[in-house]
Chain A
Amino acid sequence: MSEAVNKNRRKYGVMSFAQTRHYRLPLAGIVSILHRVSGMLMFLLIPFVLYLLDKSLTSEISFEYFKGFTSHWFVKLVILALVWSYLHHFCAGVRHLFMDMHIGLDKDSGRKSAVGVFAVSLPLTALVALKLFGAF
């Protein structure tokens, strides 16, 4: 039995990145891969968030430094990327929890809930972007 498993494994390995480009992902698939991308981004940027928290809490002097640091456009951009990651990961995660309870598993509702994820996460990200870059 274990030989049969190994034979199949050799025959159908993981597809290469070049192969993935021949596929057009459905909307639910885009939500899924972005769930991974946003999760990895947040994993890598944990020290950045901790640095901001550290500076904002240590003292009044470091708080002023924090305000100056976060007023730089590039830092704002990184924060915006984190905010999008959080919102997307949150919404896609809630979608996941419903699917764990066997709600909305068929193709049609899967697509609808994928639209729902973008409909919530993207406007909220846009709202934060406007606030960050001083539109209101």
Chain B
Amino acid sequence: MANNNIGPKRLVVGAHFGLRDWLAQRLTAIVMAVYTVILLVAFLSGSNFSYEGWAGLFAQQWFKIATFVTFLSLLYHAWVGMRDVWMDYVTVSVGLRLVFHVATILWLIGCAGWAAQIIWRM
């Protein structure tokens, strides 16, 4: 019997396809929501709106780590979201979609590098 379930004939459907990304998108969203609350509390409870106050907040190590973790969450969250968008709208060719996927990954990794530099330079 010929194996007709390989290559382009393979049926890519079934349980838990994409479940992990779906769940990761939700959890990273919660991380960002928590960081938003932390940032708002730190900002609104502060009285020093000068450079010292702002830079002082970002000088603390726990805040640097929280900011960086949130940025990595953002990176994964945006990857899942943008991949969904490309999968839905860029349907004319698989090659073109791959270009958009790779461009999204490069864009996000570049941004992550810059974010790390900003957070730990000072």
Residues of A within 8 A of B (CB): 1-2, 5, 13-14, 36, 39-40, 42-43, 46-47, 50, 53-54, 56-58, 60, 63, 90, 93-94, 97, 100
How far does the alpha carbon of A97 sit from the alpha carbon of B85 in the complex, in Å? 19
The number of chain B residues with a CB under 8 A from chain A is 31
23 example contacts (A-B, Cβ-Cβ < 8 A) are as follows A2-B11, A36-B81, A39-B78, A39-B81, A39-B82, A40-B82, A43-B104, A43-B107, A46-B78, A46-B108, A50-B115, A50-B118, A53-B115, A54-B114, A54-B118, A57-B58, A57-B122, A60-B51, A63-B54, A90-B36, A97-B26, A97-B29, A100-B26
B91 and A14 contact, CB distance less than 8 A: yes
Residues of A within 8 A of B111 (CB): 46-47, 50
Beta-carbon nearest neighbor of A5 in chain B: B11
Q: Mark B83-114, 1 if CB is under 8 A from A, else 0.
A: 00100110100000000000010011001001
Residues of B within 8 A of A94 (CB): 33
A63 and B85 contact, CB distance less than 8 A: no
CB distance from B37 to the nearest CB of A (A): 11
Q: Which among B9, B82, B115 is the interface contact of A2 at CB below 8 angstroms? A: B9
How far does the alpha carbon of A43 sit from the alpha carbon of B85 in the complex, in Å? 12
Beta-carbon nearest neighbor of A17 in chain B: B89
